[in-house]
C-alpha cells in the first residue's frame, strides 16, 4: 500500500485554511466501508474510494460551501421558472459496491424521484483531488456538474457502468436541461453577493 500526504494545499480564500489530503493506494473495499462508518457527520473528513484508491480530505471550508449553495440556488431557480419538477437529494453516500463510493456535494432527481440522482454537483477545491467521475459513471448518473477554477464544466454520461473518467463527455450544454444557458448561470455564480445573484438570474430568465 502506498500513501501520498499533502497537508498544505491552499483553498480559494485564506479564511478557509489549508486543505489536508491523504491518498492511499491498494486499499480493500472493506477498509473503505469501515472508515466511512467512523465518520457519519457532515463536518467529518470527505472519504472517496475509486477502484482501490482511497482519498481522505479535510472538511470543506466556507468558500466551498458558498460555491455549492449558490450553484444549487441558481439551478433550483431555473427549474422553478421553467416549471420542471425536481427533487433535491443532498450529499448522501453513493456506492457501487466493491468498486467505488463517496459523497457528492449535492444531487438532484429531475422529473421524478429516483433511487439514484440524475444530476450531481461537485465543487473541486484542488487540482489533484481524486476524480469522482468514475463513481458517478459506475452508477449510471446521467450528468455531473463540476465547479472548478470558477468555471462550470458539464459532463454528460456516454458509457454507463464505466469505472473511468472516459465514461463522460465534456459538453458545452446540459443534456438534461438543454434550455439552460450554462455560461449565464456560471456568470451569476461568480457574482459576489449570493442573494443578488439569484434575483438577477431570475430576472434574466423573465426577460
- The predicted-structure confidence for 33-58, as pLDDT tens digits, reads as follows 998 888 766 567 888 999 999 999 87
Q: What is the pTM of this model?
A: 0.84
Same domain for 131 and 184, yes or no, is: yes
Diameter of the chain measured on Cα atoms: 57
pLDDT tens across 113-154, in order? 998 899 999 998 776 677 889 989 988 999 999 999 899 999
Same domain for 84 and 17, yes or no, is: no
Q: Are 189 and 70 in contact (CB under 8 A)?
A: yes
Domain count, the chain: 2
Task: Give the Cα separation of 121 and 144 in Å (integer).
Answer: 6
Q: In which region does residue 150 sit, left (phi positive, over 0), alpha (psi from -120 to 50) or beta (all else)?
A: left
Q: Please, how many CA atoms are within 13 Å of residue 26, restricted to the half-sphere of its CB?
A: 4
Per the structure, the complete domain to which residue 197 belongs is given by: 62-206
- State how far the alpha carbon of 134 is from the alpha carbons of 47, 97, 98, in Å: 15, 13, 13
Same domain for 48 and 110, yes or no, is: no
Task: Give the Cα separation of 101 and 48 in Å (integer).
Answer: 6
- State how far the alpha carbon of 63 is from the alpha carbons of 7, 19, 60, 150, 151, in Å: 18, 12, 8, 12, 15
Amino acid at each position: 500500500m502506498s500513501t501520498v500526504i499533502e497537508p498544505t494545499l491552499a483553498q480559494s480564500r485564506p479564511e478557509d485554511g489549508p486543505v489536508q489530503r491523504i491518498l492511499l493506494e491498494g486499499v480493500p473495499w472493506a477498509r473503505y466501508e469501515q472508515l466511512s462508518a467512523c465518520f457519519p457527520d457532515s463536518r467529518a473528513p470527505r472519504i472517496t474510494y475509486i477502484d482501490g484508491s482511497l482519498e481522505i480530505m479535510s472538511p470543506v471550508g466556507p468558500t466551498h460551501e458558498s460555491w455549492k449553495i449558490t450553484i444549487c440556488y441558481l439551478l433550483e431557480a431555473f427549474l422553478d421558472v421553467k416549471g420542471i419538477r425536481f427533487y433535491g437529494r443532498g450529499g448522501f453516500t453513493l456506492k457501487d459496491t466493491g468498486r467505488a463510493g463517496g459523497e457528492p456535494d449535492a444531487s438532484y432527481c429531475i422529473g421524478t424521484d429516483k433511487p439514484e440522482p440524475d444530476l450531481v454537483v461537485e465543487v473541486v477545491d484542488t487540482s489533484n483531488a481524486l476524480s469522482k467521475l468514475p463513481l458517478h459513471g459506475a452508477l449510471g448518473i446521467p450528468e455531473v456538474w463540476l465547479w472548478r477554477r470558477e468555471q462550470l464544466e458539464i459532463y454528460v454520461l456516454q458509457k454507463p457502468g464505466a469505472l473511468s473518467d472516459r465514461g463522460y463527455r465534456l459538453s458545452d450544454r446540459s443534456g438534461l436541461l438543454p434550455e439552460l444557458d450554462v455560461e449565464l448561470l456560471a456568470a451569476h455564480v461568480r457574482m459576489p453577493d449570493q442573494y443578488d445573484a439569484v434575483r438577477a438570474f431570475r430576472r434574466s430568465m423573465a426577460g
